[in-house]
């Protein structure tokens, strides 16, 4: 019985091709939109997650504070107040796992006939742990290099490509501000940071080298910032308090004076960025769901028209012995078929659209079979939900009224 | 005592309108025994269509008793009425009332779908019926591809397929020309005489009513009189 009803539903659909197609279109667009939107949302969330991971976890950035000179307040880091000594002291704190001081600036870099302007970061080998950086080839410089202020450099992927092209940079000599440096390693690809900077466009040298040989006059024994990694996520608050106390002591700041440094909690920033991405993907999904709902209303509309048009047919069926449930099931199946066909095409549209977004608009998209199944399930539910009222209207029709209908 | 397919006692039907309650059937007594071919005649507005609807279990009476094949139909709910229509009654309408999207075979087999008969058996039985009404070659046609007379034959095949106790024909020749009408009525009387099928025919044409064995005249919601037809009188002679 169910098979002959399915067959009839299919025939009814084919008999009104144009109408069925237009009704389905609503479902196609709805399901397609849900799938594209959730794929883009998930992609964006994943991208944010990756850039958070690339930044390093449980991170603090300690910046030199703003100072007042002649009434004008300077921005953070304007006056270098942090030293390598501060960094070493922070490293002693029990809530801190790793510390890396950074003295950075821009410089022109030359290899052979190529040159490139990039950020030079002076730091310690710890920077790799703190920033969650791995080596693609070669080795990192060591603490001995920091102590000896040797001229060695780790270069990022972007720098490697611009200076060396296909050549292997490890062991080659480059010139930074006219002085020769040996490339000892290439950093693995990291991609964009949360604020969109290219994290691979950088060179890392020992912090002492940067202080004394590269930016000598700028950093007289000081660093621009200190990166500190807490032992764990739940020790972040403690770590911040301990660092503040320690630095105030070391900088001899009286109780009524402001800090001459500032501490930024990158984990909190990351969490808020992740929240933003999540809210955005939820919103995309919600907007797409509205079009699915509109598609469902379209089904209901067309089924109501169909029931009215086929009043006489319903009368005939009832006269020859159709039960209420037979009529109900017949119209419900028609609605369900339209929504399921529509959503199947919608899934193809969604996948296709997301493919285009990924390959031609270079957006990151992520499909989950869950999102596809959900869209499909919701579409089927909508078919039943919006098909039920018209189907019930058909089933409850009085046979003599239905037969009299012209 | 002969077995009555239909047994009606003091049947009434009122319609409620804005002007008040309008009695349409005002106490009908009627018995139809198995194998009878009865015509019901009356002017329009006499209540014959209402009687037909009640006989066909499409409508329920306001008062009185209606027993179909020994069952009081007022005791049945909507669902049982549907099953009852399916198994007990075959309808034939003036406008044929075939489903336009279905093939002839599927139209004939449709009552069996609602009776829950498996597909192979449905198609097999529908073919036999189609053969019986003389349209064996038309199974895969659609209703709009055949003539009115042929469509009515298909409707007759559909009415007969679930072996009903009673065939109800409401003006079956109303949309047909004289020659086709004669053919259809001959088919009815053959079914009646050869297979003993009980038929109730509603018409307002006397020459059509003459194919039956007897005629019940309805006037103003009551049975005026019941008479044997000329055909019956000839047969008795």
Q: Is the predicted pLDDT of residue A388 greater than 90, yes or no?
A: yes
pLDDT surpasses 80 at A333: yes
pLDDT of residue A66: 59
Chain B nearest C-alpha distance from A327 (Å) = 10
How crowded is residue B135: how many other Cβ atoms within 10 Å of its Cβ? 19
B216 vs A64: which has the higher pLDDT: B216
Q: Does A14 touch chain B (CB under 8 A)?
A: no
Per-residue pLDDT, B1: 45
A403 has a chain B CB within 8 A of its CB: yes
Whether residue A316 and residue B97 make contact (CB cut-off 8 A), yes or no, is yes
Q: Rounded CA gap, A376 and A164, in Å?
A: 51
So what's the pLDDT on residue A152?
Answer: 92
Task: Say whether B82 and A318 touch across the interface (CB within 8 A).
Answer: yes
A with B: how many residue pairs have Cβ under 8 Å apart?
62
pLDDT in tens, B91-119: 998 888 999 888 999 999 999 988 988 88
In angstroms, the CA B105 to CA B95 distance is 19
Q: Is the pLDDT confidence value at B75 over 50? A: yes
| Contact residues on chain A for B93, CB-CB shorter than 8 A | 403
Chain A residues within 8 A of B162 when measuring between CB atoms: 321
C-alpha to C-alpha distance for B237 and B234, rounded to whole angstroms: 5
Q: Is A320 on the interface with B (CB under 8 A)?
A: yes
**Which among A11, A15, A319 is the nearest to B91, CB-wise?**
A319
The reply to whether residue B78 touches residue A324, judged by beta carbons under 8 angstroms, is yes
Selecting from B58, B97, B101 the residue whose C-beta is nearest the C-beta of A400 gives B58
Three-class SS state of B180: helix
Please report the pLDDT score of residue B175 as a whole number: 84
Q: Which of A11, A15, A323 lies at the smallest CB-CB distance from B114?
A: A323
Output the average pLDDT for chain A: 85
What SS3 class is residue A322? coil
The per-residue pLDDT for B66 is 92
Q: Do B85 and A320 touch (CB under 8 A)?
A: yes
Mean pLDDT on B63-86: 89
Percent of chain B with pLDDT strictly greater than 70: 97
**For testing the chain A interface, which of B15, B53, B112, B113 should be mutated: the one with the most A CBs within 10 Å?**
B113
Residues A158-185 have a mean pLDDT of: 89
pLDDT tens digits for range A54-77: 777 788 888 886 555 555 665 555
Structure tokens given for A102: 């950074």
| Chain B closest-CA separation from residue A16 CA (Å) | 11
Q: What does the mean pLDDT of chain B come to?
A: 88
Q: Is A309 on the interface with B (CB under 8 A)?
A: no
CB contact under 8 A, B82 and A400: no
Query: B-side interface with A, Cβ within 8 Å?
Result: 53, 56, 58-59, 78-79, 82-83, 85-87, 91, 93, 97-99, 101-102, 110-111, 113-116, 119, 158, 162
Question: CB-CB: which of A312, A320, A324 is closest to B91?
Answer: A320
What per-residue string of b and e applies to A237-270 under the rule 16 or more CB within 10 Å gives b?
ebbbebbbebbbebbebeeeeeebbbbebbbebb
Measured between CA atoms, the residue of chain A closest to residue B87 is A321
Mutate to test the interface with B, among A2, A309, A320 (most CBs of B within 10 A): A320
B86 vs chain A: nearest CA distance in angstroms?
Answer: 4
CATH code assigned to B35-58+77-236: 3.40.50.300
C-alpha A103/C-alpha A215 separation (Å) is 9
Nearest to A193 by CA among A97, A94, A52: A52
The mean pLDDT of B158-163, rounded to a whole number, is 90
Distance from the Cα of B228 to chain A's closest Cα (Å) equals 30
The pLDDT of residue A280 is above 50: yes
Name the residue ranges covered by the structural domains of chain B: 35-58+77-236
A110-135 tens-digit pLDDT: 988 888 899 999 899 988 888 888 88
Distance from CA of A325 to the nearest CA of B (A): 9
In the prediction, which pLDDT does B107 show?
Answer: 92
pLDDT number for residue B126: 92
CB contact under 8 A, A321 and B56: no
**pLDDT for residue A42:** 85
Long-range contacts of A126-130 (CB under 8 A, 24+ apart): A126/A98, A126/A99, A126/A100, A127/A100, A127/A102, A127/A204, A127/A227, A129/A98, A129/A100, A129/A229, A130/A56, A130/A59, A130/A98, A130/A99, A130/A100, A130/A227, A130/A228, A130/A229
pLDDT at B204: 86
Task: Outline where DSSP puts E strands in A210-349.
Answer: 222-223, 225-230, 261-265
Q: How far apart are alpha carbons A140 and A123 in whole angstroms? A: 11
State whether B85 and A4 contact (CB < 8 Å): no
Residue contact B101–A318, C-beta within 8 A: no
Question: Above 70 in pLDDT, residue A284?
Answer: yes
pLDDT in tens, B9-34: 999 998 888 888 888 999 999 999 98
Closest-CA distance, B134 to chain A, in angstroms, reads 22
- Measure B82 CA to nearest chain A CA, in Å: 5
Mean pLDDT of A222-240: 86
Q: Which residues pair with A106 in a beta bridge?
A: A119
Please give, rounded to a whole number of angstroms, the shortest distance from the CA of B61 to a CA of chain A.
13
* CA dist., res. B55 & res. A228, Å (int): 93
Q: How much is the average pLDDT of A309-323?
A: 91
pLDDT, tens digit (0-9, with 9 covering 90-100), for A173-222:
999 888 899 999 999 988 877 677 888 899 999 988 888 888 775 556 77
């Amino acid at each position: 019985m169910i098979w002959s009803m399915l067959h009839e539903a299919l025939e009814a659909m084919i008999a009104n091709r144009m109408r069925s197609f237009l009704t389905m279109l609503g479902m196609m667009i709805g399901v397609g939109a849900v799938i594209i939107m959730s794929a883009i949302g998930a992609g964006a969330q994943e991208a944010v997650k990756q850039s958070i991971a690339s930044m390093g976890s449980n991170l603090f950035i300690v910046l030199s504070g703003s100072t007042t000179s002649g009434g004008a307040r300077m921005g953070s880091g304007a006056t270098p107040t942090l030293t390598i000594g501060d960094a070493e002291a922070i490293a002693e704190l029990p809530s801190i796992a790793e510390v890396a001081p950074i003295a950075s600036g821009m410089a022109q870099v030359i290899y052979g006939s190529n040159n490139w302007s990039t950020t030079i970061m002076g730091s310690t080998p710890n920077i790799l742990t703190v920033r969650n950086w791995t080596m693609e080839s070669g080795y990192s410089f060591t603490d001995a290099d920091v102590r000896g202020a040797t001229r060695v450099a780790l270069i990022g992927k972007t720098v490697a490509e611009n200076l060396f092209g296909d050549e292997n940079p490890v062991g080659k000599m480059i010139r930074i501000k006219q002085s020769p440096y040996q490339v000892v390693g290439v950093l693995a690809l990291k991609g964009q940071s949360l604020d969109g900077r290219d994290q691979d466009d950088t060179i890392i040298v020992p912090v002492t080298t940067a202080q004394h040989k590269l930016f000598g006059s700028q950093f007289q024994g000081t660093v621009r910032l200190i990166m500190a990694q807490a032992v764990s996520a739940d020790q972040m608050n403690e770590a911040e308090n301990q660092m503040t106390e320690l630095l105030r002591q070391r900088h001899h700041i009286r109780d009524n004076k402001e800090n001459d440094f500032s501490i930024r909690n990158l984990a909190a920033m990351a969490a808020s960025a992740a929240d933003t991405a999540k809210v955005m993907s939820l919103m995309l999904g919600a907007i797409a769901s509205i079009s699915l709902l509109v598609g469902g209303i379209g089904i209901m509309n067309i089924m109501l028209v169909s029931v009215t048009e086929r009043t006489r047919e319903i009368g005939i069926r009832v006269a020859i012995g159709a039960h209420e449930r037979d009529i109900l099931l017949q119209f419900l199946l028609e609605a369900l078929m339209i929504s399921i066909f529509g959503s199947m095409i919608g899934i193809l549209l969604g996948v296709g659209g997301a493919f285009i977004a990924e390959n031609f608009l270079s957006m990151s998209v992520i499909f989950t079979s869950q999102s596809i199944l959900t869209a499909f399930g919701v579409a089927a539910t909508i078919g039943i939900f919006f098909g039920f009222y018209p189907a019930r209207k058909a089933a409850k029709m009085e046979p003599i009224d239905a037969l009299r209908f012209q | 005592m002969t077995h009555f397919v239909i047994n009606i006692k003091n049947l009434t039907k009122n319609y409620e309108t804005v002007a008040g309650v309008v009695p349409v059937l005002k106490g009908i007594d009627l018995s139809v025994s198995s194998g009878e071919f009865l015509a019901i005649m009356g002017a329009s507005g006499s209540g014959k269509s209402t009687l037909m609807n009640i006989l066909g279990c499409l409508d329920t009476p306001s008062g009185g008793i209606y027993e179909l094949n020994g069952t009081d139909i007022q005791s049945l709910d909507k669902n049982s009425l549907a099953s009852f229509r399916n198994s007990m009654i075959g309808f034939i309408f003036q406008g044929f009332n075939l489903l336009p999207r279905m093939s002839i075979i599927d139209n004939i087999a449709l009552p069996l779908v609602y009776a829950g008969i498996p597909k192979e058996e449905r198609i097999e039985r529908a073919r036999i019926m189609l053969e019986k009404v003389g349209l064996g070659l038309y199974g895969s046609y659609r209703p709009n591809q055949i003539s009115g007379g042929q469509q009515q034959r298909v409707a007759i095949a559909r009415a007969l397929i679930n072996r009903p106790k009673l065939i109800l024909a409401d003006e079956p020749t109303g949309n047909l020309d004289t020659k086709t009408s004669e053919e259809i009525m001959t088919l009815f009387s053959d079914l009646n005489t050869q297979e003993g099928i009980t038929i109730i025919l509603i018409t307002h044409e006397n020459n059509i009513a003459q194919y039956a064995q007897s005629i019940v005249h309805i006037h103003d919601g009551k049975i005026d009189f019941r008479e044997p037809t000329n055909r019956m009188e000839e047969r008795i002679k």
